[in-house]
Structure 1
Amino acid sequence: MEDTSRPDYFHYFQNTEPSKWSLVDFLTWRSEILRFLDRSKEHSVFKFFLHELTTDANITKAKRAQELLNNWNEIKFSPEVENFWNDNRTQNLLRQELQNVKAQNELKTLQIENEDLSYVLDRSKELNLHASMIGNRRKLMLEKIRDEQLQTKCVSGKVLRNASKRSQEEYSLDDDSEKGTKKNPKPCLESIYFTALRNDDDGSESNTELIDIDQGKAKIREIDAFYILMMIVFNF
């Protein structure tokens, strides 16, 4: 908000030599303080202070103020004043354009930041969804593996039970077969072997003790041959 108090405006007339007073100079001084000036207002303020200065104790100031008032209509429409306001208007337009560009850049920056934020949020949602899908897929795979393991255990248990059942049935059949053939049992190979051994020894312990080493070896070979013959005859 611009300051329109008397001391602020009067500062120009106090610090500027009367010979240099002019509407253009006053407007230039004001433009250094404010960016945007109102033509009608600035002209009215300048003229108001000229009227006050006409009664100033300083004759030089009073004389210069009266001189400017006498030529006021020519001064306010002079080429210098018109050029000032044209330049001021151009500068104001440039300033306004710069402000618009700055505002647009700030808006674009905000839009880019919002787009970046939206992208990050969308990407985060996609990653969360992807992670959820992977988690669900992993869960399904683990459940499938667990079900397959349980199914394998069930099948293995069933196979083992069936095998055990068949084994028991075969054992029962073998029992029945042994009972049916009890009257005609297969000859015992070990029994035949030791019977032959006793027959060869004639039941004499003293004779066995007197057999020398060579005779013992020969006896063992004969017994081994007899054992093999029995295996062939009885199909062991």
Structure 2
Amino acid sequence: MPSITSLAETAALVGDPARANMLAALMDGRALTATELARAAGITPQTASGHLARLTTAGLLAMDRQGKHRYHRLASPAVAGMLESIMTVAGGINRTDRPRDGTAVVTGPRDKALRYARTCYDHLAGQVAVAIADRMSGSGFIDFSADGGVLSDDGATFLRDLGVDLDGAMTRAGRRGGPILCRPCLDWSERRPHIAGAVGAALCRACFSQGWIRRVDGTRAVGITPAGRRGLIRAFGYGIMG
């Protein structure tokens, strides 16, 4: 269990606006240079280098070298989960325009594209991702609990038929047999779970590789292509598109 000191140190690192902006920019799972992250944070590259060094030393970021270039990424899915959870909590307590007439509170990002479909580190999030999780759970393909989730045999067959590489997902997770595990991730905007873990990452990779989704430059939002719309409707029904 982490000490109170280490908890406070981590909170202080994330709490700085420049560092928070850089961490948020990495939430789509990509690795970025110091210059790109400086631009995202609105600071100079020199200042960004100092922030990045602190985040790397603390274990929140990892740095990869490729030739003369250095690329920074979130150190693990646990870091991404922490950030998504903070966004969820912050979205609930920092609103100054909370309605007082009983109308629904709008949660998460104001950007409709981000609310509809985005990446959450290595898996899909947003309205579409939550709808996928609902369909998978309702069909008995995934059994979610408070502690995690398990993909059923029928669920594994269903995803493999969609072109999802579950065997590769198991290898990446360091597992060679037994149940295929996943986990629920509380969605920042929908406030209901989408699919994370090895299964969520494999599903996201399949959607990219099959051309069902594409990245939107400068944002975590992803666009659903015409092929993706057809594929998602075929797999999950018309309600998947909202």
TM-score (norm 2): 0.21
| Structure with the larger strand share | 2
Higher helix fraction (1 or 2): 1
| TM score, norm. by length of structure 1 | 0.21
